[in-house]
Amino acid sequence: MAISMRIPRMIFGIFVLSLASTSCLRQRTQARVFTPPPARAEASVPNARAPFPEPPQIAADPATIVPPRLPETTPETMVEIPEAPRRVARRPGPVTPPKPASTGPQPQESPPPRLAQMFSSEELREHTRTLDESLDRVNRALAVVEGKNLTPDQKEIAERIRTFRKQAEQAREQDLLTAVSLARRADLLAKDLLERLP
């Protein structure tokens, strides 16, 4: 029981000592108020600069004010201005004689050779048949479409079909493979357009 009473007393004693060691319980000192030192009186210094003396009076020279007299100009005293230098004529270049006009018929220039695709007779027949069949189907589809009332999208597709058909017909002589490809595109679009019709 005596030991149990000592522990709280010890804790209380430690607490009191810790408070006593802080500055809160020490003697309070009054805060010092800063007082500035007294201002020094400036010693009056006499003005060291002496006033400038008055400038001396100088009489004006009339020769510096009046402009100088220019000599009179007469036709005898005038300076002659040289003429401008003349242009040097260029030497003419070599003259080429004109070509004599021929009275006879002029030979026709042969057109430059065209690059053509080389097909065997069987390949040529097959490509031509494919092209003709595709264009025939396209023409029949466009004939069906002409009488129908089309939406704006369908009108655009029909116009693309006509463009491909025209390009295929133009390319038939120069590039048969391109013509076949264009005709197939037109044929596929025409088939698609016919399926969309009501």
| Residue pLDDT, tens place only, 114-151 | 555 666 788 888 888 998 999 999 999 888 888 788 88
pLDDT in the model for residue 171: 86
Q: How far apart are CA 66 and CA 60, in angstroms?
A: 11
pLDDT in the model for residue 136: 92
pLDDT in the model for residue 150: 82
**154 or 111, greater pLDDT:** 154
pLDDT in the model for residue 59: 74
* Selection from 97, 100, 197, 115 nearest residue 155 by Cα: 197
Q: Is the pLDDT at 92 greater than 70, yes or no? A: no
Average pLDDT, the chain: 75
Confidence (pTM) = 0.41
Q: Is the pLDDT at 155 greater than 70, yes or no? A: yes
**166 or 52, greater pLDDT:** 166
| Residue pLDDT, tens place only, 45-86 | 555 566 777 877 777 776 667 666 766 766 666 666 667 677
State both tokens at 143: 């004939």
* Selection from 150, 153, 131 nearest residue 142 by Cα: 150
Band (pLDDT 50/70/90 cuts) for residue 87 is confident
| Residue pLDDT, tens place only, 72-81 | 766 666 666 6
pLDDT in the model for residue 125: 87
**172 or 71, greater pLDDT:** 172
**99 or 162, greater pLDDT:** 162
The structural domains of the chain, with segments of one domain joined by +, span 121-196
pLDDT in the model for residue 163: 92
**186 or 87, greater pLDDT:** 186
